[in-house]
Structure formats: C-alpha cells, structure tokens
Amino acid sequence: MARKIAFINYKGGVGKTSLIVNTAAALAQRGLRTLLFDFDTQSNASIWLMRLERWNKINASGAGAIYSIFDPGTARVKDLIIKDVVEGKEGEKLLPGLDLVPTTFNLVDLEGEYKPDPKRPSYAIFQEQLAEVEKDYDVILFDCPPNILRASQNGIFVANEIYVPSNPDALSLIGFTLLIEKLMRFQQSSASFRTSAMGPASQVYGIIFNSIKTNTDIEVPKMRMQLRLNQFKAQKRGCAPSAKIFNTQIRDAMVVRRAVTLGLPVSLVGTEGTEADSVSNDYRQLAAEIVEHTPAI
Ligand SMILES: Nc1ncnc2c1ncn2[C@@H]1O[C@H](COP(=O)(O)OP(=O)(O)O)[C@@H](O)[C@H]1O
Ligand SMILES: [Mg+2]
C-alpha cells in the first residue's frame, strides 16, 4: 500500500508547496515511485514543476487538470498523471520517478459552482479513482490550500498521514489549533464514506519547521508547538500517538525562491553556491526522516 501524505496548515505562505515539491523530488531521487497531487487552485506546484508554458496549455482548456474528474466528470485520475514531470529545455527527463497530477485555476469551481450528489461527495469520487493507480506508487503526496474546503478534503480524506509545515511565529500555533478543529469535524462528517481498505483516517504525524534563518532561535516556538501537540495527543484529537516535531528543519535560502522561477526542484538547480547544496541536503534529510517515521498501519 502506498503511503499517502497530505501537507496542510491553516496558514498560507508557510512553505507547504516548497516543502512538498522538494520532498517529493528527494523521495523520487531515493528511488521511490512518487506521485504528487496539486489541490491548490493557485496551482503553484503545477506551474513550478511543469513550467508556465506547458501549464498554460492545460489552464486554457481545463483538459488534463484535476477538476475534470468532477466536471465534466469524464476524465479519470489515471489519465491525468504526467509521468516524470520534470523536464529540461529540450524535453529531456530530469527526474524519473516523480509524477504529477496538476491543477489549474478552475479548481476553485469545486467550492462553488459544483453541485455534488449528497450521496457521493467529491472526495469519495476521488478516492475511488485514486484506488486505480495506487499500486503503481510507493508514496502519494497532496499539496493542499490553507483550509479544509472541498479541494483539500480530497487529500485529507484519502491520506493517512498529515504533515504540518510551520514557521516560528505565533500565527503558526493558531493555525495548528484551527487545523485540528476543522480536521476533527471533517473526519466525523466523512466517516460513513470510508472503507476498510483505506486504512485509518488521516492524523497529524509531524510538524516541520521551514524557512528558518540561521540567527533565529526557534527553541521557544518549538516548545510551544510541542506543548500543543502533546495536549492534542492526550485528548486523542487528530494527532497520531507517534506525532512529533521533526528533527530536520529547512533553512531559509534564496535558492528556494529561485528554484520556482527555474521550474526545478532545488536539488536540480546546480551547485553554484553552497546554499543550494545545504538546503538540498535539508530536504534529503527530511525525506529520510519521513521514510523512517512509518505509521503503524
Ligand atoms: N526555505 C525557504 N527559504 C526561503 N524562502 C522560502 C523557503 N520556503 C518557502 N519559501 C518561499 O516562501 C513563499 C511561500 O512558500 P510556499 O511554499 O508557496 O508556501 P505555501 O504553499 O504554504 O503558501 C514562497 O515565495 C517560497 O519561495
Ligand atoms: Mg502552496
């Protein structure tokens, strides 16, 4: 069974997309068959990995984007997978093993225009279709927007593990508390649609500190987050017994922003500066920590 992991937080701009894209790349580089779903209408992960020119083509028609499995409802997840998505200028495959199901801006319609059948919510449709491709992967990742509305619910419903990117500021702690409340509510309302083959409902397995400046002392924010995590674990609210703050933290590095413009994961940006090397190493270490932190399914 593939490990299914959602990255989510109730706070925007904390680094969900950068973490998930670079971690997915590191997992694929370890030889794991990796599939990334982009469930954020902003399409940051899709534009990053496909580059604008390729992505513009699907944004213009909507064909090939995840929303097409809901409306018009004729596409299937298996047909939307872009194999070995990262390409060089000549179309050469730069990162075999990293596949993407992209989104375009039309995913926003899932929150409004789309009228779901109450007996078959959109996340149940997605779950059925994901089951058709799951055997082809070791890890399936879901990049989510900072809420638990319908687009996010797809990832939250099928995932077993949730990782929460966090920054050292107080708003991250507030975001975490809000996330747990919304998560618990969603798990209750979706429980009747679960099947035993899906494994346990998603819980928080880890908190990952991102974009940490070298001169910042994060001991106090980490301690506050640990206290909150312990509290939720004790109350059995949305946090797995093995949930932890990850030892690996990702440093703040300009090259992360630059990688987006280049349309490459940081590990492929090159080694001009030691910064690219060091932060790539952070992502590799994070991927290793995720691999080791196996949930007891
Ligand atoms: N480790 C990092 N160092 C420097 N900038 C970063 C780092 N991680 C993320 N960023 C930048 O912060 C901004 C928000 O990150 P992003 O991954 O898009 O967050 P989210 O998906 O949570 O909204 C982006 O401009 C991104 O390039
Ligand atoms: Mg994002």
Q: Which domains does the chain show, CATH number per domain?
A: 3-292 (3.40.50.300)
Which segments in the chain show pLDDT lower than 50? 297
pLDDT tens sequence across 167-180 = 998 888 999 999 99
Neighbouring C-beta atoms of residue 140, cutoff 10 Å:
25
- Which atom number of ligand 1 is nearest to the Cα of residue 211? 1
Q: What local confidence, expressed as pLDDT, does residue 157 receive?
A: 98
Q: Which mutation among 256, 264, 283, 285 tests ligand 1's pocket best, with the greatest number of atoms within 8 A of CB?
A: 256
For residue 273, the model assigns a pLDDT of 62
Separation of alpha carbons 99 and 97, rounded Å: 6
pLDDT at residue 297, as a whole number: 45
Q: Which residues on neighbouring strands pair with residue 36, listed in sequence order? A: 100, 141
pLDDT at 272: 62
Report angle CA 226, 227, 233 to the nearest 5 degrees: 85
Distance in Å, CA 11 to ligand 2 centroid: 10
> From the CA of 115, how far away is ligand 1's center (Å)?
33
Return the ligand 1 atom nearest residue 11 CA: 22
